[in-house]
Amino acid sequence: MNHLRLGVNIDHVATIRNARGGAHPDPLRAAKIAEASGADGITAHLREDRRHISDHDITRLVREISIPLNFEMAATDEMLQIALSHKPHASCLVPEKREERTTEGGLDVAGGHNMLRHYVESLKDAGIRVSLFIEADPRQLEAAQRIGADIVELHVGAYCDTEDPMKRQSEFERIRKAAQLAEEMGLECHAGHGLTYGTVAPIAAIPTIVELNIGHFLIGEAIFVGLEMAIREMRRLMDDARQAVA
Ligand code: PXP
């Protein structure tokens, strides 16, 4: 069985902290618990408005965790400078709009007129692996490859959020085909957004996906069962789904 990596997104530990100011709960403590509970990496999104993760959180994460940090960032010069100064293991470029509640939709790499190329090249030159958060669309995959991305992360939000079984099936097929195409194109394929215990298994069973990034559900579930149990249960569901297709 090829190991499916789990990246735990700790943004919403910072959301809860920031609701009151101060230092509790600490995203670094969450990252260390995630590491001890079977996470293969930590993901953190430094948004332009700093609504959850702060610059200081990134400094501490880079210094103190021993599993890879996936630094999610908008393609802006400010974020590029921060990434270059910290040199995380990977940077995932995401679209960002101030008014949205969360990252809605993928990057339009195909329509981006090469705007992203400069960011991809600068990050890669610094030895940072570059991921692009995109819709499961062959045009976006081709554009991602053209501008030199190492990784594509497929946005699985539409698959996760729908209640309609037909739509879920068609969204799933779109993701499965895109993940296969990514492998054929030599792009490493990740997936994320909106995954829960109820939606993770079919995605985890797609053999060409190598990493899932999961945040909101795990942090919410941790309120009831603790972060370690929530992560261990997600890990178990992912591994069982992978094993069933091995
Ligand atoms: N991957 C990317 C690129 C994201 O932007 C997010 C949300 O910040 C996630 C994964 C995790 O999504 P969720 O918090 O819904 O699990």
Domains, the chain, with CATH or none: 5-244 (3.20.20.70)
Verify cis geometry, omega within 30 degrees of 0, for the bond prior to 25: yes
Ligand 1 centre to CA of 103 (Å) is 7
Q: pLDDT over 90 for what percent of the chain?
A: 91
Q: pLDDT over 70 for what percent of the chain?
A: 97
Ligand 1 centre to CA of 55 (Å) is 19
Q: What residues have CB less than 8 Å from 71, skipping those under 6 apart? A: 44, 46, 58, 83, 86, 88, 90, 91, 92
Ligand 1 atom nearest 195 alpha carbon:
16
Q: Does 133 sit in the ligand 1 pocket, CB within 6 Å?
A: yes
Q: Report the C-alpha dihedral over residues 9, 69, 149, 235, rounded to 10 degrees.
A: -50
Q: State yes or no: pLDDT of 31 exceeds 70.
A: yes
User: How far is residue 235 from each of residues 14, 144, 176, 240, measured CA to CA in Å?
Assistant: 23, 29, 20, 9
193 is catalytic: yes
Substitution site in 49, 216, 238 for ligand 1 pocket (most atoms within 8 Å of beta carbon): 216
Q: Which of 12, 52, 155, 193 is catalytic?
A: 193
Q: Does 192 sit in the ligand 1 pocket, CB within 6 Å?
A: yes
Comparing 33-42, 94-103, 117-126, 150-159, which segment has the lowest mean pLDDT? 94-103
Give CA–CA dist 114/72, Å, rounded.
20
Digit-coded pLDDT (tens) for 71-90: 999 999 999 999 999 999 99
Give CA–CA dist 93/103, Å, rounded.
11
* Structure-token match 């094993």, residue found: 243
86 is catalytic: no
- Phi/psi-derived region of residue 21, left when phi > 0, alpha when psi is between -120 and 50, beta in every other case: left
pLDDT band at residue 243 using 50, 70 and 90 as cut-offs? very high
Helix ranges restricted to H, 87-137: 117-125
Question: Which among 140, 138, 120, 142 is positioned nearest to 129, based on CA atoms?
Answer: 120
Q: Does 92 sit in the ligand 1 pocket, CB within 6 Å?
A: yes
Q: State yes or no: pLDDT of 1 exceeds 70.
A: no
Q: State yes or no: pLDDT of 104 exceeds 90.
A: no
**Rounded to the nearest 5°, which phi and psi values hold at 166?**
-65, -45
Digit-coded pLDDT (tens) for 131-147: 999 999 999 999 999 99
Q: What is the pTM of this model?
A: 0.96
Tell me what pLDDT residue 138 has: 97
Question: What mean pLDDT value characterizes the chain?
Answer: 95
Q: Does 103 sit in the ligand 1 pocket, CB within 6 Å?
A: yes
What's at 164, amino acid-wise?
D
Digit-coded pLDDT (tens) for 32-57: 999 999 999 999 999 999 999 999 99
Give CA–CA dist 58/143, Å, rounded.
29
Q: Does 215 sit in the ligand 1 pocket, CB within 6 Å?
A: yes
